[in-house]
Copies of this chain bind each other. A is one copy, B any other.
């Protein structure tokens, strides 16, 4: 049981943690911390949190578990103040989409104060909409959460964070921050970049064609409507790995384009069949 859970940034992910923890009775007290009291109010009204504050130190004081739910750069920036304000033995996690930067910052802070533990989290859940208004108690059910310890890994802290996500219905994998950032470049950041470029290309090439789009186009570009402020930070925080994944994508695209250009039906069909098999193997 969590005694006092502080959630800093009560948007889609932070708000869903609050609702899910509340729905399962997994914490005695839940406090929401944010910059704008008016935007925190809905979480009080619907009972997801017990109280809200704009004072970070007050919000996390006495918390045995803190979840940073702001954007990746904001989480990095908030971490030192949270670290200084929590009681000894407290555990801090986050829900950011990149992990190397916050894990390094936590390692630096551990050298200064070793009785606070950080274990990163990235719930592979959400959607192109953001804000508390779309938060849901069931958001993490059957989702995968990647948990990233620091080099000062403390097993009990990893267990606490792993238990939190399992309690909310998620499957947990524990990965190094480097492996995480490389993997999400491949299966999340690259698909976003491709979806934005695809939407932009149609607008440049043949905008009137948007009048006849069907499900395939809509599915492929759905994530092109993702939050620009959130994604600006993710892409810049992970830009080295995004660049490498884009290199792999350009190579794959050039190979496929060559198969179309040389008009070899058998080779083309065999490429498409191989990729179909890969896609069908995705859970």
A169–chain B nearest beta-carbon distance, Å: 14
- A78 CB-CB contact with B under 8 Å: no
Q: In the complex, A276→B242 CA distance in Å?
A: 20
A250–chain B nearest beta-carbon distance, Å: 8
Take A183-B209, A224-B275, A268-B232 as given contacts and tell me if A256 and B200 are in contact as well, using a CB distance cutoff of 8 Å.
yes
A134–chain B nearest beta-carbon distance, Å: 13
Q: In the complex, A266→B256 CA distance in Å?
A: 34
Cβ B276 vs Cβ A213 within 8 A: no
Q: In the complex, A184→B201 CA distance in Å?
A: 13
Take A228-B272, A269-B232 as given contacts and tell me if A191 and B245 are in contact as well, using a CB distance cutoff of 8 Å.
no
- Which positions 167-217 of chain A face chain B at CB distance < 8 Å? 173, 179, 182-188, 190-206, 208-217
**Can you tell how many copies of this chain the complex includes?**
2
The contact string, 1 if C-beta is below 8 Å from chain B, for chain A 115-142, is: 0000000001111100000000000000
Cβ B249 vs Cβ A212 within 8 A: no
A129–chain B nearest beta-carbon distance, Å: 11
Residue among B197, B202, B216, B273 making CB contact with A253, cutoff 8 Å = B197
Cβ B191 vs Cβ A276 within 8 A: no
Q: Which residue of B lies closest to A246 (CB)?
A: B257
Cβ A278 vs Cβ B192 within 8 A: no
Q: In the complex, A263→B194 CA distance in Å?
A: 18
- A101 CB-CB contact with B under 8 Å: no
- A218 CB-CB contact with B under 8 Å: yes
Q: In the complex, A173→B203 CA distance in Å?
A: 20
Provide the residues of chain B in CB contact with A216, threshold 8 Å. Answer: 127-128, 188, 191-192, 222-223
The contact sample of 18 A-B pairs, CB cut-off 8 A, is A126-B214, A128-B216, A144-B212, A186-B202, A190-B202, A194-B198, A196-B252, A197-B256, A201-B248, A203-B278, A213-B283, A225-B276, A225-B280, A227-B276, A228-B272, A235-B260, A235-B268, A242-B260
